[in-house]
Amino acid sequence: MEAKFKKYMVASTDTNQLLDFELRRLYAVASHLHTVQYGAEPPLPASVDGEEFETHARQLSVHDCSAYYASSTFTGDSSAQYAFRITKDVQNRDVLVRAVDEAAFVAYVEQQAAAAQ
């Protein structure tokens, strides 16, 4: 019985790997654009807009990313280069940032929010 359903049992793993590949690709593009825009010393780490990522996921026929967000593929080890976290940007939108950059990103957002008041 397991042999017949094996391809369905790995579907979530395949989906997570597909979404991870797409997120890394979007992050690489965002990081490059961030470097071009701000130079070698950007004021905040690069991030991927959550809406944009989920739009790309829907184009890949993945309509619910919650399983991916909860997976170890997304969260990884906090020291991993491509472990990601969901946080809010200055406009209070969901963004995906690398785990190693999360503290710097949150500090920048808090600094900008304090300056706006």
pLDDT in tens, 39-85: 878 888 999 999 999 999 999 989 999 999 999 889 986 556 779 99
Residue 76 region, left (φ>0) first, then alpha (ψ -120 to 50), else beta?
A: left
What distance in Å separates the CA atoms of residue 31 and residue 33, rounded to the nearest whole number? 6
pLDDT in tens, 20-42: 999 999 999 999 999 999 887 88
Q: What is the pLDDT of residue 3?
A: 59
pTM exceeds 0.85, yes or no: no
Element (H, E) at 86: strand 84-88
Q: What is the pLDDT of residue 10?
A: 47
